[in-house]
Structure 1
Amino acid sequence: GWQMGRALVLIGCLTAVVSAAGDTAQAIPGKPDGAGSYDNLVILLQEFLEWRSPPTVNGVVDYSPGAVSQRRAELRRYQERMRDMGVTRWTRAQEVDYLAVRAVIDEQDFILNVTRPWASDPVFYVDQMLQLTFVNFPVSGQDLQDLRTRLQAIPRIVQQAQAHLTDVAADNADLAIFNLTTPDGVGHGHPYREVPPAGVIGWYEDLLGRTREAQPDLTVDVATALGAVKAFHGWLTSNRGRMTAPNGVGKEALDWFLKHAKMIPYTSDEIVTLSQRELERTWASYALDRHRNRKLPELELARSREEYHRRLADTDARIRQFLVEEAFISIPDHIPTGWEEMGFNVPWIDRGTPPNFWEQVQYRDPSPDHLHAVIPGHRFDGRVEEKNAHPIRGRLSFGDRREGWAVYLEEAALLTGLFEDRPRTRELIYVFGLWRAARTLGDVRNQRNEMTAGETMAFWKEWTPWLDENVSRRYAYLRASPGHGLHYTVGSFLVYKLLAERKHQLGEEFVLKEFHDDFMSRGRLPVALIRYEMTGYGDEVREFWNHVPLSALKR
């Protein structure tokens, strides 16, 4: 049995290497053989991306049944054009681009026909209300006109919500009611206030107070908007009893979404198995490191903004030196050399409450999220992509590639020696990893309606040191498109898989820096598609060509 298995693996590898040698891809069942050219695909994507943001009238999108039906019909025309592409005659790289474009169109199909946030999720409307309250006064000219338009749109947004929220998920209703009246306890992206305003309503009251002093001509518009937001809260609380729809999309729909809209080569059952194993592995690594470090002092929280910023500056310098000296990845010339210009995710906030989860980690040592979110993670990644002029790859960004790369970097840096002189920081890397694994398990079970949001939060807090109510709440409620919580751990699985296969293919010719640079150069496409392009292995992509229209699902 073992010899037969080994022979099959060798045959598979040889087949893949042979197919990798040819530039033009082999015909695979399900691949379109129509009239459309690659240039037609580029034009289609450009039109689709413009279409994807629905038009607004006086700051409000129309989600009436007639408007939604029209959007569905327009989407079907894009899908018909996709089926008429001549992909059988294209190169492997062009095939990959086709599948990525098909995925973003399928994602919109899923939103229009399955998640339907305008009908199921009050937070969909609440999220449209908050940002404008952060405005800095004074404003004038076009900025003033734009602000007035947005303020005057708030009552119409509330009217839309009350008309169209006919199938509300219970968890979504509770989160909307909470967000309207209670600070989220995290505050990232919010202007600093010594006493955080009480939810969205509190931010409108804050805006009204500032308007009376700095921009009195807007007072009536702000007061009217505040009244509408309060009325929406009253409507939600009085109608909460009938808001009993399930929060998740169900197993069959989730599996379709993973394969078609995300190009993830695993079913939700496989993701549960893999993520459970990852949670156990990471907890075991954490336990072993805690034992190894038992005679060392614990890491202490920074005590001031100045101390935290000193730690950030030191972390940034250390990571950059490591990337260069250990030949980890190339740093292009246009990447800023300073940490302040690059930015960072976790600000210093003086709270009356204990630090939240992110702060518990980052205030001790900023390394985990600096790798993940600054360099060579998100901010570095984003600045590299800003230079991507490719007409398709420069315009798409998939979550498993963004988040999978960022999570991979955390433990990859640990394994290549970044923390040899900081053993306690290794523990923080594992805390980040086990949070992502627990989060994936919770997200899948929540979307399959096996756990409520509250049960998901309880599960996460049980398995994640320092995880607080506020951070867990922020992630327990999945928005219009499921999958965000899956991207982290599952994306990292796919990056590690590609690393293993590339090392196996190239043997002693494998160079880590070249691998990372090559991976980054291919854009933020699904990792499974990057794998096909880099290795020539076509097993996962062959499944993607077996395209099942969403309309064929039993719902």
Structure 2
Amino acid sequence: MRSILGFLAAVFLWAGGLHAAGPDADYDKLVALHDELQEFMLPGFTTGVVMDSGARIGDVYADTLMAEKLAGLDHFEKSLAAMPVQSWSRAGQVDFLAVKSILNGYRFNLEVLRPWKRDPGFYLDPLMGVAFTDLAGGDEKVAQLRARLRMVPPLLASARQNLTEVAGDYADLAIHNLENSDGVNHYHPYRKVPPAGIIGWYDDLLARSRAERPDITADVAAARAAVAEFRDWLRDERPRMAAPGGVGAERYDWYIRHVRMIPLTAGEMVTLAEREHERMTAALALLRHRNRNLPALTLSQSAEEQAGKVSATDKEVRRFLTEEDIVTIPDFVGELGSNTPYIERPGGPNFWEQIQFRDPIPDHLHAVIPGHRFDAVLAARDTRPIRGRYSDGARAEGWATYLEEAMMLAGGTRHTPRADEFMELFGIFRAARVPADIYMQHNRWSVAEAVSYMRAKTPWLDEDVARVDAEIYLRRPPGYGVAYTIGKLQMDALLADRASQLGDAFSLREFHDAFLASGRLPIALVRYEMTGADDEVALFWQTPPIPGGS
């Protein structure tokens, strides 16, 4: 295991961590502008939100305030344009483009997405954390809970005033989530039988308050009533909620290029993803033939059996990463857990569980080490003022998705050859997401049509997992669904570029360490910094106005 000092040296010296107010003229002004921009914008309006909308109980969302925020972006855009970035180092230019993408994302959220007007789920997402509260936390925690509960009725009352342009798919998803468990339960407390949606969780909190803290029961009941009234209002208003859910084709391409900084159009991404789907489907058939005489991997039958599988997988993955010189694991990286808790569902395991309960290695590489959780531990120690606060979805998911097939090809699954089939299954699902994401945002497909497409293209994919994915890709900032496959292809291209540049001097461990040390920036920016190739970043310097709807 590599030393902490060696790894931190790589982080800061390679990726420009000692840049600060260094040789680039006015770089300190860029940092100040970045910090001012983060303070200016509401906390809920970020470019990186995924699992929830980013809204917060207690924040105010009204047209007058949003108009003020939108008008205020002119100051930041003019200040950014005045900086002498052409003379800066590559590291400084990359930081500049990162700030530019953040600023572009804020403008898009305020001009186009406008979730406070279009999406009932924007107001519902933060209510779940309230209902999850553990009442055994003591009087101070319960007092905080009471304060949040009392914010629920006014928040939902303001929602009814603000929601004047609701998309039909958004309304249907909100009604569904109010009354049904999503079957995936991202970040939910475990229940053998999950409560029936948001209202069910408030019923659960109400029952717990009566048993444990009757002093807050009235506040819980009032919040629960407000949630139910909001559901009833949505049902009544649903016939009039007919706005499109997606942003349109031209706006989608603008967002992909100028916020996510992916140098591709929607049409190009669909073509690439369809080819990846074909390739991986063929690879799956070949692997099944190769493995035809091997015993099938079976589902875990208990939490204890699954825990044993996860523990053995973690040991094997860490051994492989270290002994095969794949990536540096600093001494401060401890146990990282697992991403899929053992759950016994009445209808059987969902898509993720069908794979994870047979062999945890595909998602362990993707979501634990050296994927998301490992990535997050490194990022948490990144104190750089811009890169340390930036997290791009295509970078995060591209890295994690790249690891699945890359680690298989590098030998990480030699001990479990049938798991190679699951690597391809993961990739098949991720490739099917790309047309689903794009065509929902183009308003060509409804959520139901996207779900049907993904299920037809992906073995074992169930309705719940497909619907949750479709909801994320429609309701969140555009392009998250493409991030996995397209980010993976960007990683492949970067690896090819760097290996060609360095020839016999290329080291896979040094490549991975340098990539991680660059920060969680758009992969095109990392490519520019690592290789000097400027053909992709040339697309990002000028930002045209956001197109009209299409």
Q: Same fold (TM over 0.5)?
A: yes
Give 1:486's aligned amino acid. Answer: V
Cross-structure match for 1:440: 434
Cross-structure match for 1:507: 503
Cross-structure match for 2:216: 218
Superposition deviation, residue 276 in structure 1: 0.6
SS of the equivalent of 2:234 reads: helix
| Greater than 6 Å deviation, 4+ residue runs | 55-58
Superposition deviation, residue 192 in structure 1: 2.1
**Are 1:428 and 2:431 an aligned pair?**
no
Deviations 1:262-301 (A, max 9, x none): 0101011110111110111111101111111122222110
Cross-structure match for 2:63: 65
CA contact (8 A) 2:56 2:126 kept: no
Cross-structure match for 2:42: 53
Cross-structure match for 1:269: 267
Cross-structure match for 1:407: 401
RMSD: 1.8
Q: Distance in 1 between matches of 2:277 and 2:202?
A: 41
1:349-498 alignment runs, 5 A limit: 349-477=343-471, 478-498=474-494
**Are 1:540 and 2:536 an aligned pair?**
yes
Give 1:285's aligned amino acid. Answer: A
Cross-structure match for 1:307: 305
Q: Distance in 2 between matches of 1:66 and 1:194?
A: 45
* Counterpart among 191, 197, 200 of residue 198 in structure 2: 200
Q: Distance in 1 between matches of 2:55 and 2:479?
A: 31
Superposition deviation, residue 454 in structure 1: 0.4
Give 2:468's aligned amino acid. Answer: R
Superposition deviation, residue 91 in structure 1: 1.1
Q: 1:468 to 1:554 in 2, by over 3 A?
A: closer
* Counterpart among 314, 336, 347 of residue 341 in structure 2: 347
Give 2:198's aligned amino acid. Answer: V
CA contact (8 A) 1:117 1:480 kept: no
What TM-score do the two structures reach when normalised by structure 1?
A: 0.90
CA contact (8 A) 1:116 1:480 kept: no
- Give the structure with higher Rg (CA): 1
SS of the equivalent of 1:289 reads: helix
Superposition deviation, residue 141 in structure 1: 4.4
Deviations 1:359-389 (A, max 9, x none): 0010000000000011000111111111212
1:274-313 alignment runs, 5 A limit: 274-313=272-311
Q: Distance in 1 between matches of 2:192 and 2:368?
A: 27
Q: Distance in 1 between matches of 2:522 and 2:271?
A: 21
Give 1:321's aligned amino acid. Answer: R
Q: Distance in 2 between matches of 1:318 and 1:286?
A: 24
* Counterpart among 107, 114, 117 of residue 115 in structure 2: 117
Q: 1:377 to 1:241 in 2, by over 3 A?
A: same
CA contact (8 A) 1:185 1:470 kept: yes
Cross-structure match for 2:245: 247
Structure 2 stretches of 5 or more lacking a match?
1-15, 17-23, 45-53
Q: 1:330 to 1:205 in 2, by over 3 A?
A: same
Cross-structure match for 1:152: 150
Superposition deviation, residue 195 in structure 1: 2.3
Cross-structure match for 1:27: none
CA contact (8 A) 1:111 1:480 kept: no
Q: Distance in 2 between matches of 1:82 and 1:149?
A: 40
Q: Percent identity?
A: 47
Superposition deviation, residue 540 in structure 1: 0.7
Give 1:310's aligned amino acid. Answer: G
SS of the equivalent of 1:545 reads: coil
Q: Distance in 2 between matches of 1:450 and 1:361?
A: 31
CA contact (8 A) 2:25 2:88 kept: no
Cross-structure match for 1:132: 130
Superposition deviation, residue 305 in structure 1: 0.4
CA contact (8 A) 1:137 1:215 kept: yes
CA contact (8 A) 2:425 2:459 kept: yes
Superposition deviation, residue 546 in structure 1: 2.7
CA contact (8 A) 2:247 2:549 kept: no
CA contact (8 A) 1:123 1:172 kept: yes
Q: Distance in 2 between matches of 1:462 and 1:416?
A: 31
CA contact (8 A) 2:372 2:400 kept: yes
Deviations 1:64-113 (A, max 9, x none): 22111111112222222211212122111100100011101111111111
Give 1:50's aligned amino acid. Answer: E
Superposition deviation, residue 142 in structure 1: 3.6
Cross-structure match for 1:518: 514
Q: Distance in 1 between matches of 2:467 and 2:195?
A: 18
Give 2:250's aligned amino acid. Answer: E
CA contact (8 A) 2:30 2:96 kept: yes
CA contact (8 A) 1:247 1:447 kept: yes
CA contact (8 A) 1:58 1:149 kept: no
Deviations 1:474-507 (A, max 9, x none): 1111223111111111111111100001111111
Superposition deviation, residue 420 in structure 1: 2.3
* Counterpart among 530, 534, 545 of residue 549 in structure 1: 545
Q: Distance in 2 between matches of 1:488 and 1:112?
A: 26
SS of the equivalent of 1:265 reads: coil
Give 1:495's aligned amino acid. Answer: M
Superposition deviation, residue 187 in structure 1: 2.1
Q: Distance in 2 between matches of 1:517 and 1:77?
A: 37
Cross-structure match for 2:319: 321
Give 2:419's aligned amino acid. Answer: T
Give 1:390's aligned amino acid. Answer: R
CA contact (8 A) 1:327 1:512 kept: yes
Q: Distance in 1 between matches of 2:392 and 2:219?
A: 39
Cross-structure match for 2:31: 42
Q: Distance in 1 between matches of 2:415 and 2:138?
A: 54
Give 1:305's aligned amino acid. Answer: A
Superposition deviation, residue 553 in structure 1: 4.6
Deviations 1:146-191 (A, max 9, x none): 2112101111111121111111111111110000011111223212
